[in-house]
Each structure stands twice: as C-alpha cells, then as structure tokens.
C-alpha cells in the first residue's frame, strides 16, 4: 500500500540530472543510478544508429515505454527523429511522461493502453490492440517488455507489430532467450540469480526455437539475433522485419 502511494506521489516529481528530467520511481531493474540510467539508453540508441534503424525521418513506437527512458536517451545522445509514440499499460508511467517529457516537443506522444499484465496492470481486462494505424512505424522498439509476458501475449503483440510496421520497417526487441530450456518459463529458479521472491513475471525466459516460431507465425523474420547482448540484463536482442502479412 505504502509503495503504491509513494509511486502515485512520484508521478508528480522528477529528479534533474545533467539537465534531464528523470523518474524517481523506476520500472527498470538495476537502473537506480542516474548516470547508468541515461547511459543504458544512449548505448541502445548508439546500437540503433549503428544498425541504421533510426534517423531524422523515423517514426518510432516505443512499446512498454515505461518512464520514457528512450526519450531521455534520444535527447542525451542528441539524435533527431520525426515522431515518437510511447505506449504503456502502466498509467502512472504514462502520466509521468506526459508531465515531464512532453516539453521535449509536439512530436513526442504518450498513450495509455490498459492491457492486462500480471506484474504491471492487474486491473485491466485482457489483451488490447495498439491504437494506431496500419503500416505506420519505421521502428517498433521494446526493451525489457517481452521479459515480462507469457507466450500468449508475445504472440499477440508480434502480430500487432507486423500490422503497424511500415513496409521497410523493423522491430528491435529484447528478451530472455536460451537454448535447451523449456519452451517458456516464468521466473526460472537459478537463472541469472533468480529467486522465487521477485513477484509475477519478473523474468520470463523462452527457448530460442520456440521464440523463433512465434516470430515466424506473426509473419516476421529475424534479421539479427544477438544472444545476451544487453550486458546489464543479459537479454538477447532481435531485429525483425516483415516477411508476409500476419496469418489470420
Ligand atoms: C521493465 S519495464 C521497461 C520500460 C522501458 N521499456 C525501459 O526500457 O525503460 C516494462 C514495461 O512494460 C510495460 N508493459 C507490460 N505489459 C504491457 C502491455 N501489454 N502493453 C503495454 N505496456 C506493457 C510495463 O508497464 C513497464 O512499463
């Protein structure tokens, strides 16, 4: 209860670091240090730039945007884009972004999508389509979001990404994926020091071939796979492209 009240109060507060407004309560594990917080985002943006996945004409969807870590990183790295849309099921995070990050420009929008998630939004009702037009985005970015979802949700959102991605667009996502493990496991004990005390959907791990199968079934194909590429979280990185329209 106290944590809930604190979180609500913290939607009205921010902390300044190097001129950037950062959240006080963070949904990212292990990113409490302000410098690490900004650098974690800059590192991913540098990666996106090196892969030619963003430039000044990009229209980006940040799915499970949390408290706009990517937005602060774009400003910190001084990378210009055309339009940014952040979508999250956590209302407090979206309120925080609207309050503290809207001043970054009219091309930065934040949408609350009340979708059920046993960790982040238990009061919502099931899966929700992303409220945006078809073929709209050059990049769908999601960091540490599929790490908190079971297969049903992942399969649903992969199809949604295919629907909203432009013809030459790409998905850049992170997930826990390993070989020779059960297809899907919630909070696997002893995996990356997991205990059984971290709550629902703390760490969802997928078997690589099983995950690839979900990608294919959504009409997407893997262009790049980097196992445990994110050093701090040990999540793998995938870059996906459209292969065929999603199967109905
Ligand atoms: C670990 S946080 C990562 C936040 C952000 N991507 C980052 O890297 O800072 C996971 C985020 O995914 C969001 N999320 C989980 N399920 C979702 C869903 N079905 N739709 C939208 N957002 C979701 C959570 O509310 C949370 O903000």
Per-residue pLDDT of 122-160, as tens digits, reads: 999 899 999 999 999 999 999 999 999 999 999 999 999
Q: Is the CB of 85 under 6 A from ligand 1?
A: no
pLDDT tens-digit series, residues 53-81: 999 999 999 999 999 999 999 999 999 99
162 and 240 Cβ atoms separated by less than 8 Å: no
pTM of the model: 0.95
Distance CA 110, CA 125 (A): 20
User: Is the domain defined by 2-242 classed in CATH 3.40.50.150?
Assistant: yes
Measuring CA to CA, how many Å separate 73 from each of 68, 79, 224? 9, 9, 23
What confidence score (pLDDT) does residue 194 get? 75
pLDDT for residue 223 is more than 80: yes
Q: Is the CB of 174 under 6 A from ligand 1?
A: no
Q: Ligand 1: which atom is nearest the Cα of residue 116?
A: 19
Two structure tokens written together for 5: 């009240």
What confidence score (pLDDT) does residue 248 get? 54
Q: By alpha-carbon position, which residue is closest to atom 10 of ligand 1?
A: 145
Distance CA 82, CA 32 (A): 30
In angstroms, what is the span from residue 225 Cα to ligand 1's centroid? Answer: 21
CB-neighbour burial class of residue 196 (10 A; exposed 0-12, middle 13-18, buried 19+)? exposed
Give the β-pairing of 204-207 and 184-186.
Answer: antiparallel
Segment (H or E) for 211: helix 208-217
127 and 115 Cβ atoms separated by less than 8 Å: yes
Q: By alpha-carbon position, which residue is closest to atom 4 of ligand 1?
A: 66
> Length of the chain, please?
248
Q: By alpha-carbon position, which residue is closest to atom 12 of ligand 1?
A: 64
pLDDT for residue 228 is more than 80: yes
Pick the more confident residue, 5 or 17.
17
Annotated domain spans of the chain: 2-242
In angstroms, what is the span from residue 88 Cα to ligand 1's centroid? Answer: 6
């Amino acid at each position: 209860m106290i944590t809930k009240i604190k979180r609500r109060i913290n939607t009205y507060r921010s902390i300044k670091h190097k001129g950037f407004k950062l959240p006080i309560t963070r949904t990212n594990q292990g990113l409490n240090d302000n410098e690490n917080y900004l650098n974690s985002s800059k590192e991913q943006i540098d990666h996106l730039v090196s892969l030619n996945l963003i430039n000044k004409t990009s229209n980006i969807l940040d799915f499970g945007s949390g408290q706009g870590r990517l937005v602060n990183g774009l400003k910190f790295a001084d990378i210009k884009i055309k339009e940014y849309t952040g979508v999250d099921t956590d209302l407090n995070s979206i309120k925080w972004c609207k309050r503290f990050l809207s001043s970054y420009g009219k091309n930065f929008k934040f949408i609350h999508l009340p979708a059920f998630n046993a960790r982040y939004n238990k009061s919502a009702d099931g899966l929700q389509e992303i409220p945006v037009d078809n073929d709209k985005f050059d990049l769908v970015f999601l960091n540490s979001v599929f790490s908190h979802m079971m297969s049903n949700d992942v399969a649903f959102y992969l199809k949604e990404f295919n629907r909203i991605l432009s013809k030459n667009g790409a998905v850049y996502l992170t997930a826990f994926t390993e070989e020779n493990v059960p297809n899907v496991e919630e909070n696997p004990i002893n995996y990356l020091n997991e205990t059984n005390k971290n709550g629902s959907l703390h760490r969802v791990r997928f078997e690589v071939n099983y995950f690839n199968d979900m990608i294919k079934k959504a009409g997407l194909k893997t262009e790049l796979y980097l196992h445990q590429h994110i050093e701090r979280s040990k999540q793998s990185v995938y870059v996906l492209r459209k292969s065929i329209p999603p199967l109905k």
